[in-house]
Amino acid sequence: MILFFLTSGLFLGWSLGANDASHVFGSAVGSRMVSFRKAAIIASIFVILGAVFQGSGAAHTLGKLGGINALGGSFTLALAAAITIYIMTKFSLPVSSTQAIVGAIIGWNLFTGNPTDSSTLSKIVLTWVIGPVLGAIFAVLLYIIIRRIKKASNIHLIRFESYIRTGLIIVGAFASYSLGANNIANVMGVFAPAFNLQDLHLGLFTLSSNQQLFLLGSLAIAVGILTYSRKVMETVGSNIVELTAEAALVVVLAESLVLFIFSSTGLSELFVKMGLPPIPLAPVSSSQVVVGCVIGIGIYKGARNINFKLLGQIALGWLTTPLMSGLLAFFSLFFMKNIFNIDVGHKITEGSQTISSTLVEADANMSAIIKYLLLGIVIAGTLLIIYYYLLSRKRTRELRQSEEKFWKNMK
């Protein structure tokens, strides 16, 4: 049963991968600086690394908004959020997974009669507004700096482009790592208390129960990236405004900076020490920040080439995502509870905030299934990457041989 409940989390992971990889590599793929295949492989690897090795920290952020206290509730919320993200992705609209989950949690709060913490909610909503604005400001500043450096250095266009490409891959890999670290909690965090597996020893390191769960979730994200993220990547990267190579790098850099600011406790404390108001530390929607960055550059370049129609559609998506997710969660919870008779959670009273489903004991069979499943997927993934690498080498060699043959015949 617990594996069945997990499927909605995996579906959410897949939706998140299909959608959120665009925030990291969308501008690079949209500007054709990095091929989709290369971007998808790098993003997948680093999302998995981020989720497994640094995924536990972000689990607390959404907990304040609503403490889901039944596994059936977690399943339904994850499903509602996943369906919302899937539908938005289907229409090629960048959608925020944070918004979808926040909407679903509010739906759960309304259904179970739990109050929604208005201060946390307003803090999150505030970042949805500040994030893109700050992203636009950072993007314009970074863009001006890069352009000036380019002009002053008289660097060869091809060399400059090669540096930008390397930068895009490095920053993209780092951003993918952060994406995995931050967003795996949205995908798998709700299932963590109900999952208890034996430690998995892999020679060099050991994966705890949570890490195995996060690895499963991140593999779902990776599958989402590889199978369904292309359309959204192209929307973010090229449809709003045509991006140049340096603009593509600026977008990813600015996005990373904004995400860093809104998640850095150290920086927030520094602000307080300097007598400034603290930075609201809340999950920022990376899709909104990216769109903000792209628009910032578009406005700086004269706003003539901004696709305002598409922008309107994206803004509409921002409003409809939490609403749709919330309504979907509310009605799904109703059906789950009244038709399938599944416990989806209850009103939290003082001292009763526990998971109502029984915790799963460390089951040796389950651990073995997960162990072989994970190992199988990791080996298959590695073989696939090696296969692609060899294939591309073969193509390059064939091209070189045909070139040599051509010139031999010419002589």
Partner 1 sequence: MALLTRTTKDLILRINEFFDNIELGLIVFREGIKSYLEKDMEAFRNHIQKVETLENNADRLQREIENEMITHSILPQHREEVFNLIEGLDEIIDSVKRSLNEIDLERPEIPASLNKDFISLTETSAVCAEELIPAARAYFRAPFTVREKLLKVYYFESETDKISMNTKRRIFQELKDIDLAHKAHLRYIVHHIEGISDEAQKAADLLSAMAIKIVM
State the residues that interact with partner 1 by CB under 8 A: 31-33, 35, 151, 154-159, 161-162, 165-166, 242, 244-245, 301, 396, 399, 403, 406-407
Closer of 64 and 165 to partner 1 (Cβ): 165
For the beta carbon of residue 207, count every other beta carbon within 10 angstroms. 20
Q: At closest approach, how far in Å is the CB of 305 from partner 1?
A: 10
Closer of 249 and 258 to partner 1 (Cβ): 249
Q: At closest approach, how far in Å is the CB of 394 from partner 1?
A: 13
Closer of 45 and 213 to partner 1 (Cβ): 45
Helix (H) or strand (E) holding 155: none
Length of the chain in terms of residues written: 411
Q: At closest approach, how far in Å is the CB of 396 from partner 1?
A: 6
| Cα–Cα distance list, 373 to 215, 216, 308 (Å) | 11, 9, 46
Q: At closest approach, how far in Å is the CB of 20 from partner 1?
A: 24
Look at residue 63 and give its three-state secondary structure. Answer: coil
CA neighbor of 127 nearest in space, from 287, 306, 311, 326: 287
Closer of 168 and 333 to partner 1 (Cβ): 168
What contacts 51, CB < 8 A, 6 or more positions away? 180, 181, 184, 214, 215, 217, 218, 221
Closer of 33 and 226 to partner 1 (Cβ): 33
CA distance 208 to 219: 16
What contacts 62, CB < 8 A, 6 or more positions away? 101, 102, 105, 185, 186, 189, 283
Look at residue 116 and give its three-state secondary structure. Answer: coil
CA distance 294 to 101: 25
Closer of 8 and 31 to partner 1 (Cβ): 31
Q: At closest approach, how far in Å is the CB of 399 from partner 1?
A: 6
Closer of 31 and 74 to partner 1 (Cβ): 31
Q: At closest approach, how far in Å is the CB of 89 from partner 1?
A: 25
**CB of 237 within 8 A of CB of 224?**
no
Q: At closest approach, how far in Å is the CB of 249 from partner 1?
A: 13
**CB of 6 within 8 A of CB of 192?**
no
